[in-house]
Amino acid sequence: MANEKLQGSAEKPGDTIPAPVIAAQSPSSRGSRFWTIILRHCIPATLLLVVLHRWTDNLVKENLAATEGLWIAKAFGDSHRPGTKSFPRSAKAAEKLFLTIPNPGSAIAASRQYATKPHMAGTPGDFDTATDFLALLQTELGIIAPATLPVFPAGSAASRNATLAITSQSAPSAWIDQYYPVMNTPLDRSLAILEDDGSTAWAAELEEAADETDPDAGQYAEAVPAWHGLSRGGEAKGRLVYANYGRKQDYDALVADGVDLNGTIVITRYGGIFRGLKVKGAEELGAAAVLIYNDPRDDGTVTVENGYVPYPSGPARNPTSLQRGSVQYLSMYPGDPTTPGYPSYENSTRTEGLNIPKIPSLPISWANAQVLLDELKSGGKNRTVSMINHVDDRVIPIWNTMGVIPGHIKDEVVVLGNHRDAWVMGASDPSSGTVSVHEVVRGLGVLLQLGWKPLRTIVIASWDAEEYGLIGSTEWGEDFADWIEEHVVAYLNLDSSVSGSRFRLSGSPSFAHFLRGIAEELPHPTKPGLTLWDASKDSGVLYGEHLDTEAAEVFAEQEQLRTADSLGVSVLGSGSDYTVFLQRIGVASTNNGFGSTLSDPVYHYHSVYDSQRWQELYADPGFLRHVAVAKFLGLQTLRLADAIVLPLNTTHYATQLEGTWTGAYRYLPPQSLTPAQRIPQREQLASTTSLDLDFTSLHESLHALRAASEALDAEKTNAEHTLRRLLRRLAKHALIKRKLRRMLCSLKRVFGIECGPGGASHHRAHPPAAQGAAWRAVKPRIGRAPARAAEQRAREGRSAGKCGLRDSGARGELEGHGGPSRRIAEAVRRVRAVNRKLVAFERGLIHGDGIKDREWYRHLGVAPGKWLGYGATTLPALTESITLERNATMAKYEAGRLKALMDKLAVELRP
């Protein structure tokens, strides 16, 4: 009955609890829930990863910026480790520290060391300065001075090994090379006006007059007599002929006027061209002798006529001052006249000097010139003039002081040079330059003491006998021409760093952007808010009503040549120690400094008044310009030494060369051109000289060269970017590994476990100290580990050296990183190949046959003008075949030579 009741009640609909109904889920609702889970968990995780990635990226950037020097050094195969914790691990850090070192107090002290005593080349005073500079290198570069003074005769095993071993040494070194050129010194001299009966009507006081107002000038006024270096000894009598500046056009004008120079004594003023060419022009026209004087008209507005008082009481010219200097025919060849093209060893075979005068000459003061010029005035007597110039020609030892800072890339070398010898004391020329180099050496020394090492090797040279004719640098360059051609990537020259207010930049066109860029970064030395580049437009502040028109035109012409490049960086001719590097071997070069303008205090060039007092009182009070030049030169050195890709702009160079024949004849000698030729169109130069010439083929080759250079631009950018990207990746791996190691170490400490040598405190995010040639760790062995490791590194160095490229990252892995070593090795090879091509551009303008009549000069892109000496002529062989020779056959030949060089170079540049 009970079951029936239950069964009956269950059948009643109102009495039962219905079972729950489960709705079927649609596919779309299941997808929504999935994406909800994704949004809740994965997006935060992704954001976290992005944040972590950016954080690690920033840390990598900071780490790589702080240690880029070590990573780059390791990439190029060097195992150098810093010596101290304060080591500047990046190029920027090294630059920043360097710029704090040069200072006025140190510069003034150095100037007083070098510029307060005579040190003409080959004298005891000169040798003293050579050893002073050697001591500076030893002290600042951390070189232990040997028991015996390291003075090595040129050609000896010691001398040759000192230079040839530069690319294999690991520690700084310094020494003195002693060369043996033929030079001369003065014996006796005189100058007089004679009466008709032969008696003396007037005798000149040839020496400069000085007193204790300028104590150094007063003491040494007659230390170096009035005389021209390398002048011909002899006597002459004759009538005077005035030849203005003694330029080619001045002599041509005399000939056109029917003036016969045979047997005459030519009197000419300084300026316009190199003094030796004034003598050469007179000699070729039969003159018996030459007198050269400084005319106050060329002093601009700073003259007595404008109310300025002569030095030492004021800024105007001292009337007794005179300009010594060499009269070597510089545009023929520099260096020892008796060893052209080869070094002057003690036992060298000598030839008759072909680049020195065959007639005597003397420098004279304005005070003496006035007396002689009165003889030529209307109503003057124009009496016979007698002059004597007796000299002692002989072999005289000179001393180049050399220093080396080895780099990680040992076979790429940057040379920094300044000449040290002076005609008397030379506070400006060259001691202001020596002072700036002194400050550069101090700055590099501080970096070295902190453990810095440049990427490339740096050679510092203090040249001797530059004043006689670039002798010290030329002899070294001829001695080691093959080594220079193989290893030197750039030469940085400094002659005088301060003689006036205007900063002038000059160099190979490939350096134009580089130089201007640095000048725009550095502050103006005396005007807050401006840059060093702004100083390139500065002038003195001593103005006046009277200004000689011709002098102003000559100054303007020279300034136009100096700023001919579109960037305001002038090309190099000759007149300083870059000549052998650039003009004979083809090394891209620079030369910079502050020079005088027509409204600056008169610079008594090569006079006893180029003194410390004049420098401190008028040229650079406070020595701020000396320091600015030191910083400018120092940054050039550091950036060339530490750049992955050399900062050479070959495309700008190619554009400048191409522009020479497409409307930019800016570098042609002004005396060879009419005003119309200075604003020419393509081939106008040829047409105005009535020559039937077509330069279309040459222009096409120059255009092809520019195109090849533009392709190289892309390759150098990509090559550096690739290497930096790979190094950045390695830095990131190292950073992550270090962070993980620290985390693990912290976790171990929680459980009381000490971290071993593998702990974070023992690891830094920079490359390991020892690497094999295959980027494998050099695993020390017990017992003789240090010696065996050293032997292994030596074997690797010798092996790498055979191919001239230290690709120590060819195979294997960086210690502890397991990185893409093969790709790094390839990236390094790629960078090295680019750098070789960049260096090859200047080398490619060298022709073994040289320039007609002056074959020592081999650069067909730029050379000192045949009748300029200092000033540059672009495409010199071709230009002079048109402007001087006016010979269509020769011009076609020279165009063909130049085209062949351009075509070959274009092929070499292509990536």
Cβ atoms of 413 and 460 within 8 Å: the answer is no
CA distances from 360 to 130, 210, 249, 807 (A): 31, 27, 22, 58
CA distances from 361 to 207, 243, 389, 717 (A): 15, 14, 7, 55
Paired sense of beta strands 398-405 and 173-179, if any: antiparallel
Cβ atoms of 641 and 456 within 8 Å: the answer is yes
Residue 394 burial (C-beta neighbours within 10 Å; 0-12, 13-18, 19+): exposed
Q: Which residues contact 569 (CB under 8 A, 6 or more apart)?
A: 505, 506, 507, 509, 511, 512, 515, 516
**How far apart (Å, rounded) are the C-alpha atoms in residues 470 and 579?**
8
CA distances from 659 to 564, 700, 743, 896, 907 (A): 12, 12, 63, 18, 21
Nearest partner of 86 among 449, 453, 613, 486, judged by Cα: 449
Helix pair 696-750, 888-909: axis angle to 10 deg: 20
φ, ψ of residue 459 to 5 degrees: the values are: -110, 130
Nearest partner of 261 among 233, 238, 277, 235, judged by Cα: 238
| Helix and strand element counts for the chain (H, E) | 27, 20
- Which contiguous run of DSSP H or E holds residue 874? strand 872-874
In the annotation, is 352 catalytic? no
Q: Which of 95, 208, 466, 715 is catalytic?
A: 466
Nearest partner of 266 among 248, 252, 251, judged by Cα: 251
Cβ atoms of 308 and 299 within 8 Å: the answer is no
At residue 598, what is the residue type?
L
Cβ atoms of 435 and 658 within 8 Å: the answer is no
**How far apart (Å, rounded) are the C-alpha atoms in residues 328 and 331?**
9
Residue 537 burial (C-beta neighbours within 10 Å; 0-12, 13-18, 19+): exposed
**How far apart (Å, rounded) are the C-alpha atoms in residues 901 and 698?**
10
The DSSP call for residue 42 is I
Task: Copy the structure tokens of residue 99.
Answer: 């710029």
**How far apart (Å, rounded) are the C-alpha atoms in residues 90 and 68?**
5
DSSP characters for 355-385?
SS-SS-EEEE-HHHHHHHHHHHSTT-----E
Report, as residue numbers or ranges, the catalytic residues: 466
